[in-house]
Amino acid sequence: MDNKQLDDLAVQTFRRYLRIRSDHPNPDYVSCVEFLLEQAKLIGLECNVIELVPGKPIVVMRWEGTDPKLSAVMLNSHMDVVPAREDLWEHDPFSAELDEEGRVFGRGSQDMKHLAIMHMEAVHRLKAQGVRLRRTVVITMVPDEEIGGADGMEKFTQSEDFRRLNVGLELDESMPWMEDELIVFHCERSVWRPRVTCRGFTGHGARLTPGTPGEKLRVVLDRFMDYRQEQLDTLQRDPGLWMGDVTSVNLTMVEGGMQANVIPPEMSAVFDMRLNPHIDFDEMERRMRQWCSEAGDQVELEFLQKEARQQVTDLGPDNVWWAAFQRAADKLKLKIRAVSCPGTTDARFLRNVGVPALGFSAINLTPPLLHGHNEFIRVSTLLQGIRIFQELLLELANVQ
């Protein structure tokens, strides 16, 4: 096939993948696996399906290098996508419609089915050119990233199946960006979800008795939201900062009350926090407990979720993987911006078992619409990404 035929086939394959309903709460992993097995056969890759949890398949494709004893380069993406409110989309989110401007619309177009196509097509084209790489390339497609990854990548990285792959570097997702820069994630913020419960005087709603749960909750809300404003101010003062360079705080739930004229015996608030990996976690918790103490007695802090500090992939001169990544970017004259991921990806599970990981979605000049309405990617961006990954593999999978 010539280049145009290969490009046309890649777009068709991408649109087929988008049409598979792998949205939660009932992702169609069976159809995803059938589709991916077909692609592996077409490319000529060894392919296995691993089920560490029933109904949660992990697809592993393998292209053996000339020196298979060397650690492998792993290219990862996830099969699942978040739900879509079809009434809020201009196009059916599962039709993969291609418009006159060359945009492919569909849930998962940015997050992150495009990445599986870029990975597979890059290998397909290198193999078709007769290229042999020193290191083995492993392409994985995993389940359940969008609901935390506990039954997907987390269990996989703890398994003997993963250890046998001998992974030296993992490439995962990043995010689209409106500028001409391409975003690379080398670390992630940690998720904390504190719940503060305030107890106190209860009685008739007409009374002005001190020590009500509402008074205490107001203090708690003020302290958390003041800290949020401090972080926002820091971000806005310095244009060189990235959203992942600060700690985010958002009030997500407020509970309490049984009737409009009854002061409730307790009220609670839940916050979603994403902690910058470079801050002092112990000091952050101490501050939060101090805020609760300032609100009064019978104010309790508990954590619905409290992740440890996430490991960071070093970008120093001693990291041969990062040096190879930069060489590929320089050859392609790409602008790369390495930042902390503002959310979470499956890459954290690799870093936590000692494998360096970089998040890279290869999408720029595109509005970030992950989890949003009318999610799309341009055909030109998809094809550019395939060529970028070809160059990346030539560098990364030939690292000495």
Residue-range domain boundaries for the chain:
3-188+310-396, 190-306
pLDDT score recorded for residue 73: 98
**Predicted confidence band of residue 343 (pLDDT cuts 50, 70, 90):** confident
How far, in whole angstroms, is CA 270 from its chain's centroid? 23
Q: Catalytic residue positions?
A: 80, 145
Bridge-based pairing state of the strands 137-142 and 72-78:
parallel
The tokens for 318 are: 């001693």
pLDDT score recorded for residue 2: 84
- Is the predicted pLDDT of residue 3 greater than 90, yes or no? no
Counting residues of the chain whose pLDDT is more than 90, the rounded percentage is 97
Sequence-ordered strand ranges (E) for the chain: 46-53, 56-63, 72-78, 103-105, 137-142, 167-172, 182-188, 190-199, 203-204, 248-256, 262-263, 266-275, 299-306, 336-341, 357-360, 376-378
pLDDT score recorded for residue 214: 97
- Is the predicted pLDDT of residue 383 greater than 80, yes or no? yes
pLDDT score recorded for residue 134: 98
Distance CA 215, CA 53 (A): 47
Mean pLDDT for 249-253 is 98
Counting residues of the chain whose pLDDT is more than 70, the rounded percentage is 100
Distance CA 304, CA 255 (A): 15
Distance CA 15, CA 37 (A): 16
* 3 state DSSP class of 348: helix
- Output the pTM of the full model: 0.90
Q: How many CB atoms lie within 10 A of CB 245?
A: 18
pLDDT score recorded for residue 192: 97
How far, in whole angstroms, is CA 351 from its chain's centroid? 14
pLDDT score recorded for residue 400: 87
- Is the predicted pLDDT of residue 183 greater than 80, yes or no? yes
CATH topology for 3-188+310-396?
Answer: Aminopeptidase (3.40.630)
Mean pLDDT for 27-44 is 98
The tokens for 319 are: 């990291």
**Predicted confidence band of residue 184 (pLDDT cuts 50, 70, 90):** very high
- Is the predicted pLDDT of residue 381 greater than 80, yes or no? yes
pLDDT digits (tens, 9 = 90+) for 138-158: 999 999 999 999 999 999 999
Q: Please provide the CATH number assigned to the domain covering 190-306.
A: 3.30.70.360
Q: Where are the alpha helices (DSSP H) in 238-345?
A: 281-295, 320-331
- Is the predicted pLDDT of residue 185 greater than 80, yes or no? yes
Nearest to 270 by CA among 193, 215, 216: 193
Mean pLDDT for 8-28 is 98
User: Picking from 198-202, 237-241, 385-389, which range would have the lowest pLDDT averaged per residue?
Assistant: 237-241
- Is the predicted pLDDT of residue 1 greater than 80, yes or no? no
- 383 phi/psi in degrees, rounded to 5: -70, -40
- Is the predicted pLDDT of residue 101 greater than 90, yes or no? yes
